Each structure stands twice: as C-alpha cells, then as structure tokens.
A and B are shown apart, each in its own frame.
Chain A
Amino acid sequence: MNSIPASADCLDVADLLVDYTEGTLSPEQTSRVTAHMAHCLRCQQHVAHTCELADIMAAIRIVPPPAALDAALLAALAQETDQLKQPAGAGSEAIVVPLNPTSVHPTSSGWWLRIAASLLLLAAGMVLGNHWRPLSSATVALSTPDAQAAPRFQALVGNLTAPTLSASQRLLLVSELAAEAQTSGDPVVQALINTLNFDPNPNVRLAAGKGLYRLRADPRVAEAFVQSLTIQTDPYVQILLIELLVEMREQRAKPELERLSRRPDALPVVRQEAKAGLGQLI
C-alpha cells in the first residue's frame, strides 16, 4: 500500500485531508474529497492513518507528576518567602513598595539582578520612610504627650472595615505605633489587636501581628493570637500566627492548631505548619 503513486488529484486534496477527518470542511469541499477518495487508495489510506493517529493521540495518558516535585516547589516557595520576609523585618513598609523591576530578564546574571533588586527595594523603603516621617511627627507635635497616639489611633481604628487610609499608610502607621509603644499596658496593644483581627489587607494584618509580637510581654497579646488564629483566612497570616505562637510556647494554641491541621479548606502548607507547630508545643 505504501508504494501507491500520488496523482495530481491527490495533491489537490492533500491539504484538506486533516480537516476532512475532523469534519470541518465546507459541504462543497467535503464532496470534493469524497469524490477523489472513491477512486484513490492512497488518500483513503492517509485518511485512515490520520484517524488512527488522532485516536492514539487523544488516548494518550496523563502522566502523574512525581511527588518529589511537590516537595521541591514548596522548598523553593519557602526560600522565596524568606527572602520577602527579610527586608520586611527591617521595616514592614517594604512589603508594599510598588517596585516593578521590568529590567529583570531571564539571564544567567540573575543573581546580580536579584541583589540589585533587593538593594533597590531597601532604598525605596528608606525613601518612603523619610517621606512619611515628617508628616507623622507633625501630627505628634500637635498633640500632648499623653494623647500622643490618639489621632493616629483614630486614623487606624476609626473605620476598620472601610479605612480612609491606604493600605501602605496603615502599614506604616502600624509599624510606627508598634515600635514606639514601650510599656506592656499601652493602649496601642488593643489597637494593634483590632487591626490584626479586622483590617481588610493581609499585609497590614501581618505587620500588626509582627508588631504585637514585639509587645508580647503584655498578656493580651498571646490571648489575641490564639483567638485571631480562629478567624484568619489568609494563609500568610495563619502561618505567621502559628510561628509566633510556637515561638511564645503558647499552650492555649493547641486546640486551634489541632483543628487547623485537619481543616479541609486550609491550604496544605498551613495544615503542615499547624501540625509541625503542634509537634513543637507538645
């Protein structure tokens, strides 16, 4: 069959054969192909082969990816997450700096670009910091030392579900308030707890959580973390709270960790973190 010679007619319909097998030709073209095939074994064979090949291709297995791939990706994700967290430790405002390093190309000099990008991020953080500081110190100067934080409280706590300040402004405020608060009985603690529980932006909630951790001498902090863990839905905030609670060796967190490690709607990483945390607390 392989040596059947091609005729001029064959060339005429050759480009139509695949469409013919898929039934996407116009009625006129279809009848042209059918008429040709009636007397051409070669094209009959080609159509049969095309159909067979299409069937084999349609039946091709979906190969399950190896489990090692999951582990490798989670590891890469954790590493990237750590890199994100590091500049955030120096000043949480760095998280939301609108940086778009469009100059980053997939080249072999990726490392240098990465370093350059992080320097840029730090620099942008410093510039933003300097830019905002005069504004907040002006606010402070207006008020008496006792009620120092009050206007800023109002700005932060005023309307938690529909805040008037932008997320980055709230973020800045949260980290400043947390850094300034010294004593454990400070009213800032309650403001930060409210922010942690109700701010619409997860980055602001994260900053509030980190700020509260610095004020962990206050007994309200541990209790707030335990309670907050039950209502947080953002995996990032969940993971941070688990980490902090484990760090503080807070036994009251156990029931919630237990629950979280089995919650079907929690992300696998969160469940894993909760499980690991439980292991450390016991």
Chain B
Amino acid sequence: MAAVHANDLAQVVLLFERYKSPLFNFLYRLSNDYETSQDLTQTVFERLLKYRASYQLGQPFKAWIYHLARNVYTHYWHLGQKMRTTDVLEEERQGGLGSAAFTQMATLECEQALQEAMALLAPPEREILVLHRFQGFSYEEIAAMLGCTAGAAKVKAHRALKALRTIYFSEQP
C-alpha cells in the first residue's frame, strides 16, 4: 500500500487480487445481495484509489480497507432505510425465490436459513458475527475497528451469537 500511496497505481492490482474475495464476501454476508455486493466492493476500491493519500504509512492495510468497506456498507444501509418499504418487499421476494431454489441441498438450505436469520439481527450484531465467524477477525482486531476493548468485542460477539441462536432455532428468550 505504501507504493499506492506514492501514486504507484499498478500495485492496486495486487491489492485488488488479494482482497476482492474477502471484501466481496464480507459485503455479501452483510447485504445478502449478490449484485449489491459487487457494486459495494467496487465502491470500496474506488474509494481506496480516491483517498489513498489519507492512508497513513505503517497503518495495517487490512484494517484500513475494512474501515472503508464498513463505511461504504453503512452508507448503503442508511440509503436503504430511507426507502424502507421497497427494500423489505425486495428482500421478501428474494428470500422466497432463494428458498425455493435451494430446497434440494441440505447444506445450502442451512446456509439460506442462516442468512435469513442473520438478516433479522440488528446491523451491528450481524457485522460482528460476519467479521468474527466468516472473516476470521480476532476480537482484538474487531476491537480496534469498533473502538472498544477486546473484552467488550467478545461480549458483543457472544450476545450476537445468542441472538442469532434464538432466531435460528426459534428458542424462547
């Protein structure tokens, strides 16, 4: 990233190759929408190009690009909130189609059910689970992103998992 910071843009291709899949999956698990994730991933890299000067040398690149990705997603989510009614309809339609298409395969069915349960979590809960469970971030790394202690990050992650469990298995709270 130091090279990109110094306007050596060809190095962006390397960063892109390394991070496109993790970032795409991160945004896919947050948004639960394939096309949206593509757009959002693209936006993240566009912002990387645009704001490369604000990257501080020595700062971990992974933390920085996830910071960009989280901002991009938050922005998208707030836009979605403004058009809430259409958004919900869209999700319902896709959920229905998705379930019908995947009924044959048990694992995919679990995954679909999981995605649907995760969609019902509050966004911060969903995010912390995606970061920790799907993206392999440690509590320390998550704490640095959220600006809290590792202990607090762990408590949040556990609470989120508990909330997800309650939804997924329709447990009594």
Which chain A residues have a beta carbon within 8 Å of chain B's beta carbons? 2-3, 15, 18-19, 45-46, 49-50, 53-54, 56-66, 68-70, 72-74, 76-77, 80-81, 84, 95-96, 99-102, 104, 106, 110, 114, 202, 234-236, 239, 267-269
| A-B pairs under 8 A by CB, number | 121
Q: In chain B, residues 82-119, which have Cβ atoms closer than 8 Å to a Cβ of chain A?
A: 107, 110-111, 114
Q: Establish whether residues A68 and B25, one from each chain, have CB atoms under 8 Å apart when the complex forms.
A: no
Assembled-state Cα–Cα distance A102/B53 (Å): 7
Determine whether B62 belongs to the interface, using a CB cutoff of 8 Å to chain A: no
Contact with B21, one of A57, A62, A72, A96 (Cβ below 8 angstroms): A62
15 pairs, A vs B, C-beta closer than 8 Å: A49-B169, A56-B110, A60-B111, A63-B34, A65-B24, A65-B38, A69-B38, A73-B20, A76-B45, A81-B9, A84-B9, A100-B53, A104-B50, A104-B51, A236-B8
- From DSSP, what is the main secondary structure of chain B's interface residues? helix
Q: Establish whether residues A69 and B24, one from each chain, have CB atoms under 8 Å apart when the complex forms.
A: yes
Determine the chain B residues whose CB is within 8 A of the CB of A69 once the complex forms.
20, 24, 38, 41-42
Q: What per-residue 1/0 map shows which CB atoms of B1-19 lie under 8 Å from chain A?
A: 0000011111011101000
Assembled-state Cα–Cα distance A63/B25 (Å): 6
Contact with A72, one of B42, B161, B165 (Cβ below 8 angstroms): B42
Minimum CB–CB distance from A91 to chain B (whole Å) comes to 15
Assembled-state Cα–Cα distance A96/B13 (Å): 21
Determine the chain B residues whose CB is within 8 A of the CB of A96 once the complex forms.
6-7
